[in-house]
Chains A and B, each alone.
Chain A
Amino acid sequence: MSALLKVESLRVEIAARTRILTAIDEVSFEISEGEILGVVGESGAGKSVTGTAVLGLLEKPAYQAGGRILFGGQRIDTLGEDALRTLRGKEIAAVFQDPLTSLDPLMTIGDQLVETIQTHLPLKAGEALERAGQLLAEVGIPAPRERLRSYPHELSGGMRQRVVLALAFCCEPRLIIADEPTTALDVSIQAQILDLLRRMCRERGTAVMLVTHDMGVIAEATDRVAVMYAGRIVEIGPTATLLVGASHPYTRGLMASIPDMRRREVELTQIPGSMPRPDAPVSGCAFHPRCSIAEARCSVERPDDVVIGPSRVACWFAGDTSRSVAR
């Protein structure tokens, strides 16, 4: 499989009032055609910023300060606004967290679908409407033709997120940036939406960058995972590998925090402390104050990436089995 999306050493800075903060730094990853990459981490780790940068939607005071973003072999982070706009919605689509606020409240669902379709595809109004109806049927909305005339407030949260999915898929994109697509929904609806997203992507061979802080979603839906911590990717590799044998102590902590129904654990594992904020960066490895295996050098030198099997890890002790066992 060739790389559909390639992000190289991406760096995003935020111009705060008195100084420049680093939101993400040295972020590199690839997504192949049809692959679902999960991006996981705590709030503020830089997951959403990474997705926003790929979409080219960074807004002041945030800006891309370094690195390259390639889509289908073409560099897109240097494209002009107009060229980027024709890419957005057509080749790279987005699904955002809150379906309640993602749709224009004053416009019918049909109109919003038709305007998106007609922006990118040379279809007549009737054909676009036809396509809009088909899409609503595909995302599992009952009575799709009637629903085209509905306003967003007339639908439930789950139905609205289905509409958002229909909007994302309406021009057959090759990549979808899904930023916490199920977080704002009821638990019972979350599984349905996730399932729908995964099925539609598999059917069409659409790749997904699935941003989430829900480890259950990662285990459920992704092929590979990138774990972000304090603006960097600390470990990236196949989901199956990371679930059972993660190399970075932070990833292991995360995996241990997934509740397991088969085991009768009273308490879930916690990682003590909290992640450093961009306005108070930590020297060396950003995780060292919370790390159980940290040594003196961890607080001074930033670890380089190490390739271990199919994974890439940023830890001085990656691959050191004696340490990784004793946690």
Chain B
Amino acid sequence: MGFVLGRLGQTVLVLLVAAFVSFSLFRYVGDPVNNMVGQTASLADREAMRAALGLDDPFVIQFFRFVGHALQGDFGISYRYGQPVSALIAERFPATLELALISMLIATGLGVPLGVWTALHRGHWLSQLLLAASLIGVALPTFLIGIALILTFSVWLGWLPSFGRGQVVSFGWWSTGLLSWSGIRALVLPSVTLGVFQLALIMRLARAEMLEVMRADFIRFARARGLRPRAIEYRHALRNTLVPVVTMIGLQFGNVFAFSIIVETVFQWPGLGLLVIQAIQFADVPLLAAYLVLIALCFALINLAVDLLYVAIDPRVKAAGLVGRAA
């Protein structure tokens, strides 16, 4: 429990820093009052608006007001859309989360087994081929993969849609494309595009870690104990490989979620990425600030989940956590 509490404390600190940075954005992109009142507004009108928005107050008070509102889910009104930022984000959030989850599922589900396989069959021609392919996967820019996939599967073959989310089913504020055939079809190309780089990365890391572990003394000793190759490879080597691989999968999930902007642009995916790229063009600061805080929250939660997974996988982490609490 001490371990979990410590991590939670760190998480709160990280979120506060992220909120501070987001909030500071407001102060460096000019006077929001200029955007909100018309050009013909008098100086008195401006002052009134300024006072109404609380912009007269000291910086610290403004910051804590921002944090207080944020805690209640209130990030203000979008300059561009004139709607509450939280509603805009809530509307777009499911699309991006779904895309990120599916692409990481593909990347992890294929990347870890392929990495392990290529490590165990080093000389095999297929292993060499996969390794070369993974290099291409790491090197190719995402937008190029997206365009190539659209060209092949949408334009030439006409199998899959090239843009949009298809038909979505709503549950309250949550909307999902996973329950309709057109929604699933629409998800294929964007999630593969987003997942290719991650797949290659995870495969290469899993392979490198597996090779490293297979050289370890305890694997040699397991051989000397006469254990079956399957037990050595999967019960001993794979588990020891997973610790660093899980870390990277967690961090990459954060990346995929936060920076799906390119894929969402290429596929006109109605998610956060698309919302944010438009917000950047319009200098829609409240929206950007809320987005930054949300991304920080996601990373913090993912890191927390990864830390907890460590405890489940590696008994030494638990011991270190307990020692940390005692000290």
Say if the beta carbon of B47 comes within 8 Å of chain A.
no
From A90, A119, A167, B228 is in contact (CB under 8 Å) with: A119
Chain B contacts for A105, CB-based, 8 A: 218, 240, 314-316
Chain B contacts for A283, CB-based, 8 A: none
A102-B218, A153-B319 are contacts. A107–B227 as well, Cβ < 8 Å?
Answer: no
Say if the beta carbon of B325 comes within 8 Å of chain A.
no
Say if the beta carbon of A96 comes within 8 Å of chain B.
yes
Of B63-71, B231-239, B266-274, the stretch lying at the interface with chain A is B231-239
Closest to A59 in B: B220
A101-B216, A154-B319 are contacts. A106–B225 as well, Cβ < 8 Å?
Answer: no
Chain B contacts for A224, CB-based, 8 A: none
A57-B224, A88-B223 are contacts. A115–B235 as well, Cβ < 8 Å?
Answer: yes
Q: Is the CB of A104 within 8 A of B222?
A: yes
Say if the beta carbon of A192 comes within 8 Å of chain B.
no
From B223, B224, B229, B240, A104 is in contact (CB under 8 Å) with: B240
Chain A contacts for B224, CB-based, 8 A: 55, 57, 88-89, 93-94, 96, 177
Number of A positions contacting B (CB below 8 A): 29
How far, in whole Å, are A85 and B203 apart by their CA atoms in the complex?
Answer: 30
Closest to A94 in B: B224
From A90, A94, A106, A151, B240 is in contact (CB under 8 Å) with: A106
CB distance from A139 to the nearest CB of B (A): 16
Task: Give the A-B pair count, Cβ closer than 8 A.
Answer: 77
CB distance from A94 to the nearest CB of B (A): 4
CB distance from B239 to the nearest CB of A (A): 5
Q: Is the CB of B236 within 8 A of A98?
A: no
Say if the beta carbon of A78 comes within 8 Å of chain B.
no
Q: Is the CB of A153 within 8 A of B217?
A: no
Say if the beta carbon of A292 comes within 8 Å of chain B.
no
How far, in whole Å, are A319 and B248 apart by their CA atoms in the complex?
Answer: 67
Indicate the member of B225, B227, B229, B236 with the most A CB atoms within 10 Å.
B225
Chain A contacts for B222, CB-based, 8 A: 104
Q: Is the CB of A89 within 8 A of B319?
A: no
How far, in whole Å, are A177 and B221 apart by their CA atoms in the complex?
Answer: 12
How far, in whole Å, are A93 and B316 apart by their CA atoms in the complex?
Answer: 28
A88-B226, A93-B224 are contacts. A102–B217 as well, Cβ < 8 Å?
Answer: yes
24 A-B pairs with CB atoms under 8 Å apart are A57-B223, A57-B224, A85-B229, A88-B223, A88-B225, A89-B227, A94-B224, A96-B217, A96-B220, A96-B224, A98-B217, A101-B216, A101-B218, A102-B221, A104-B236, A104-B240, A105-B314, A106-B315, A107-B239, A116-B227, A119-B227, A151-B315, A151-B316, A177-B224
- Nearest 8 A/B pairs, CB to CB: A89-B226, A94-B224, A88-B226, A101-B217, A89-B225, A102-B221, A151-B315, A116-B225
